Amino acid sequence: MQLKIDYSNVMNANIGAKHGLAESDFDKLIPAGKKILQDLRQKAKDNKLGFYKLPSQFDIADELESYASVVKKRFENYVHIGIGGSALGSIALQNSLLDSYYNLNNSPKMFFPDNVDPDWLNDLVKNIDVSKTLFHIVSKSGGTAETAATTLYFMKFLTDTLGDNFYKNLLFTTDPVKGLLNQIAREYPIKCFRIPPSVGGRFSVLSSVGLISAAIAGIDVKKLLSGAAEMAEKCDNENLKKNPAFIYAAIHYIYMTRGKNISVMMPYSNKLRDMADWYRQLWAESLGKRYDNEGNVVEVGQTPVKALGTTDQHSQVQLYVEGPNDKLITFLEVEKFKENLQLKNHFTYIHEFDYLAGKTLGELLNAEKMATELALSNNHRPNLTIKFSEVSEENIGAFFFLLEAATAFAGGLLNIDAFNQPGVEEGKIATYALMGRKGYEQKKKDIETLFNKKQAFML
Ligand code: PA5
């Protein structure tokens, strides 16, 4: 595993004292950081911080791999039904480690419909043979409206084609005991994998939530876990200045306290593009909180934004370089691409192309990244880079763990609970009410009153 953080461009020396950090800024956070590390260790020991333990679950990897080999023989398609933490990590895993056009030449073809857009779902069902499709329903709570609705939608096609045997094409990943999926699994012999209760949705990618689809698509889950395990050790380092999770969290925390409330993640790699999507949820849902641990209203958080290099150099970078200095940019850089596509100037009479001849596309991509980094730094805009020696299972596993541990440290520094999501729950409850779920009648009335008032301001 070779994943490194280069944070020289947040330091005074590179971006100036007004927007840069001094060593002493980190020193001040060391006592709090040490306490947070002790708390995290204690919680992990008490089985309250499940994601800490996921990298060492090698026995699960064996079970998943043998299940995956059966799936590969039986099914033409795999459809992953889940949303938020039950989908984003799996999508990021697939898109980083598989051939970008995997579905054109491989089986089972992999689909991740993580929204209830009827046209999108209908397009999927029209294009697959449902009887040869495994539907993997992933929901920790077992009751999320979007996941339930998508499942019910596909159930019609499953029962139409398979009748009473529909359950043979279902796989559940859910809580060990609680939730509606468990009720269904008590009626039918449906294969179930479990999400440990102490693993929160957005911290669950290295559990069966993310690893089943990975194993089915041929990703080496043991390598993923071993990369994560190596990173877990680094993130447990008591010498906090050498602890990458603490350093990432401390940098972000300091800038939050200085009004830089936007965290842009900008991979210079299409393969890593969805890592930024996964990070967006992790950082937003974990740190965006109204109350601190003592119940005071603090309304903290940092808005995560995703961008893609070089594509967004032609869309966002003007704003990042010259607009409000309210952002902290994290680049993701790949040092060694799988293919080094070398260019040749076929139009020798056009000398303006000569500078590209003999260069590789990877060189160009990374030169452009460096150019953006320079432009930002010259304009006193803090930025750091997470460097992947290559896009490999080990580095992807390490990346997931690094950002999860950094989120836990950032939650500690902000003195908030990074592991709950009351705002999301509020939205889930309002959806149940609006859709007429039993027990939510009063909530429905309250919502209708609120929306009726708003009619006055409609044009
Ligand atoms: O991180 C979280 O907890 C959420 O994003 C959940 O993953 C998401 O709401 C889906 O929940 P569930 O897995 O219970 O269906």
Q: Mean pLDDT in the chain? A: 96
Ligand 1 center from residue 139 Cα (angstroms):
7
The domain that holds 279 is classified in CATH as: 3.40.50.10490
Indicate the top mutation candidate among 51, 80, 83 to test ligand 1's pocket, ranked by most ligand atoms within 8 A of CB.
Answer: 83
CA-closest candidate to residue 173, choices 213, 202, 219, 216: 213
Cα–Cα distances (Å) from 253 to 247, 302, 450, in that order, read 10, 9, 36
Q: Which of 150, 184, 219 is the last residue of a domain?
A: 219
Q: Is 455 a domain residue?
A: no
Instruction: Say if 433 falls within a structural domain.
Output: no
- Are 151 and 205 in a shared domain? yes
pLDDT tens by residue, 221-276: 999 999 999 999 999 999 999 999 999 999 999 999 999 999 999 999 999 999 99
> Considering only CA atoms, which of 70, 372, 333, 57 is closest in space to residue 215?
70
What pLDDT score does 407 carry? 98
Residue 65 lies in a domain: yes
For atom 9 of ligand 1, the residue with the nearest CA is 84
Domain that holds residue 30: 3-42+224-414
pLDDT digits (tens, 9 = 90+) for 56-67: 988 889 999 999
The last residue of a domain, from among 219, 246, 281: 219
* CB distance 433 to 444 below 8 Å: yes
How many A from CA of 156 to the centre of ligand 1?
Answer: 25
> Has this prediction a pTM greater than 0.85?
yes
Please check whether residue 434 lies inside any domain of the structure. no
Distance 146 CA to ligand 1 centre (A): 11
Is 300 in the same domain as 253?
yes
- Residue from 141, 146, 177 to probe ligand 1 pocket by mutation (most atoms less than 8 Å from CB): 141
Query: Would you say residue 454 has pLDDT above 70?
Result: no
Alpha-carbon distance of 162 to 131, in angstroms, equals 7
Q: What is the mean pLDDT of residues 262-291?
A: 98
* Domain count along the chain: 2
pLDDT digits (tens, 9 = 90+) for 124-169: 999 999 999 999 999 999 989 999 999 999 999 999 999 999 999 9
Is position 437 within any domain? no
Where is the domain boundary, 184, 219, 254? 219
**Pair 75, 116 in one domain:** yes
Does the pLDDT of residue 380 top 70, yes or no?
Answer: yes
Ligand 1 atom nearest residue 82's Cα: 15
Scored b (16 or more CB within 10 A) or e, 346-381 reads: eeeeeeeeeeeeeeeebbebbeebeebbebbbeeeb
The reply to whether 264 and 383 lie within a common domain is yes
- How does pLDDT run across 327-365, given as a tens digit for each residue? 999 999 999 999 989 999 999 999 999 999 999 999 999
**Ligand 1 in contact with 147 (CB < 6 A)?**
yes
Percent of the chain with pLDDT over 90: 90
Q: What is the mean pLDDT of residues 56-82?
A: 95
- The ligand 1 atom at the shortest distance from the C-alpha of residue 179 is 14
Residues 151 and 286 in one domain: no
Ligand 1 contact, 83 CB (< 6 A):
yes
Is the distance from the beta carbon of residue 140 to the nearest atom of ligand 1 less than 6 Å? yes
| 278 and 349 co-located in one domain | yes
Cβ–ligand 1 contact at 85 (below 6 Å): yes
pLDDT at 450 over 90: no
In the prediction, which pLDDT does 455 show? 66
**88 within some domain:** yes
- Decide if 448 is inside a domain: no
- Judge if 54 and 21 occupy the same domain: no
pLDDT value of residue 401: 98
> Which positions are catalytic?
285, 314, 428
Q: Which residues contact 131 (CB under 8 A, 6 or more apart)?
A: 158, 161, 162, 169
pLDDT on residue 397: 98
